[in-house]
Amino acid sequence: MSVDETQYFTLLRTALWNEPLAIEEPIDWSAVMQLANRHATNILIAGVATCMKGDNKPSQDMFDQMQTALRGNLIRQLQLKQILVAAVRLLRQNGIELVLLKGFSLAMLYPNPNLRQFGDIDVYIGLDKFHEACALLRTLPGGYNWGEVTDIGHHYNIEFGSLPLEVHRLSAEVEDEDDAACYTVIEQDGLARNPQRVDFEGIEVLIPSKEFMVFYTFFHAWNHFLTSGVGWRQLSDVAMTLHTYLGSLTQGSNFDVEKLHQWLDDMHLMQPWQTFGYLLVHNLGLPVAEMPFYDAHCHRRARRLYRFIMEEGNFNRDRSFRRKRPQRRLWKIIHSIICVFIDCFRIAKVFPSMAFRKMRTTLKFSMKKNFQKN
């Protein structure tokens, strides 16, 4: 691990656990913030850096940039809060309850919720009320939609200027048919039957069950790794959910560890869970006691995964080839197949046993989806 990486993780751990900062050697703020931007943790790092004193604090120019970013993030959160509160009230007046996914539901778990950056609102409606909810939400002032409501895909977007609201009929799109059936059961348990009720800006909002919060946050990070590159923001989210629901202060919160174990097994995710978990402990400082099913023996695989994460970052994988999608249908299909093989070769470097399964299910899923569209 380089000096810049070591300093980056020290600053990130300070932001996550609200602990005193201890860095004696000079900080290359340009290099550290480059890492932070790559992993969508620049607001977390800025929150720590702007409170620093002494010779190691950022230069005035860097300090001003950080303050601007912090203000911009706070303004965006306030705007998103207004949209969310309006959406909750409108749907509730019409007998529909939404469940808040990601974003705000995760920010609540951080020591300073204002430092967990995100760009949109994700809400789960489910299948029964999906079309009705979308029709209602389209009436909110300032919103415009991306075309007609469709049952292809797992969510529908409504834009409020540059502020997106994603309305989910499914909380995730699962490619493998058997896994999709298992996931439906998990989703119903965590979102439909056992949601938590929390206070949000003076209004009661539903968020997923404790077990689903942990499972889904990891599942989301895993899907980022498979498709677009995962960053330390997603892994920080996993660490925060585990710390909140399995930490020493919440031992009486009756978190069902066996249910989590069953869900991970059903979705063939135990090996990735333990590999990522090693990094949560050793890079982000999550206590081992708060990392269920921790396995120190996966350190070699975890080191390979670490290098992939550092190279790719959050949505920062080199996707130049993927962006060059041909216009003609045949060449578009060939291009998609090549992308699948590229991804599977990449996955095999860390999780070889899962690479072929991923390739098979993705090809089958893509063909089915293209058939639906045409």
Q: Tell me the pLDDT tens digit for each residue of 47-66.
A: 999 988 888 899 999 999 99
The rounded distance, in Å, linking the Cα atoms of 260 and 264 is: 6
| pTM score of the predicted model | 0.88
Final residue belonging to a domain, choices 193, 208, 223: 208
pLDDT at 152: 57
Has residue 32 got a pLDDT over 50?
A: yes
213 and 305 housed in the same domain: yes
Evaluate whether residue 157 is within a structural domain. Answer: yes
308 and 339 housed in the same domain: no
Amino acid (one-letter) located at 134: C
pLDDT at 203: 92
Exposure string over 80-105, b if 16+ CB within 10 A, otherwise e: beebbebbbebbeeeebbbbbbbbbb
187 half-sphere exposure, CB direction, 13 A CA radius = 21
Evaluate whether residue 82 is within a structural domain. Answer: no
Evaluate whether residue 341 is within a structural domain. Answer: yes
217 and 202 housed in the same domain: no
328 and 234 housed in the same domain: no
pLDDT at 147: 62
Give the β-pairing of 143-145 and 155-160: antiparallel
Exposure string over 139-175, b if 16+ CB within 10 A, otherwise e: eeeebebeeebeeeeebbbbebeebbbbbbbbbbebb
233 and 300 housed in the same domain: yes
204 and 216 housed in the same domain: no
Q: What is the dihedral of CA 322, 324, 328, 332, to 10 degrees?
A: -10
Evaluate whether residue 339 is within a structural domain. Answer: yes
Please name the residue that has the structure tokens 């710390």.
243
Has residue 359 got a pLDDT over 60?
A: yes
Domain that holds residue 240: 209-317
Higher pLDDT, 53 or 235: 235
268 and 361 housed in the same domain: no
Give me the sign of the Cα torsion angle 207, 208, 213, 219: negative
Has residue 322 got a pLDDT over 60?
A: no
* 224 CB neighbour count, 10 Å cutoff: 20
Task: Identify the helix (H) or strand (E) that includes residue 61.
Answer: helix 60-93
Give the β-pairing of 163-168 and 143-145: unpaired
Q: Name the DSSP class of 111.
A: S
Evaluate whether residue 67 is within a structural domain. Answer: no
> If DSSP codes are grouped into helix, strand and coil, which group holds residue 10?
helix
111 and 199 housed in the same domain: yes
Final residue belonging to a domain, choices 181, 208, 235: 208
259 and 244 housed in the same domain: yes
Has residue 373 got a pLDDT over 80?
A: no
Total domains in the chain come to: 3
Evaluate whether residue 19 is within a structural domain. Answer: no
266 and 240 housed in the same domain: yes
151 and 233 housed in the same domain: no
Evaluate whether residue 83 is within a structural domain. Answer: no
133 and 226 housed in the same domain: no
Amino acid (one-letter) located at 306: Y
Final residue belonging to a domain, choices 140, 174, 208: 208
133 half-sphere exposure, CB direction, 13 A CA radius = 29
pLDDT at 369: 56
Evaluate whether residue 262 is within a structural domain. Answer: yes
pLDDT at 374: 47
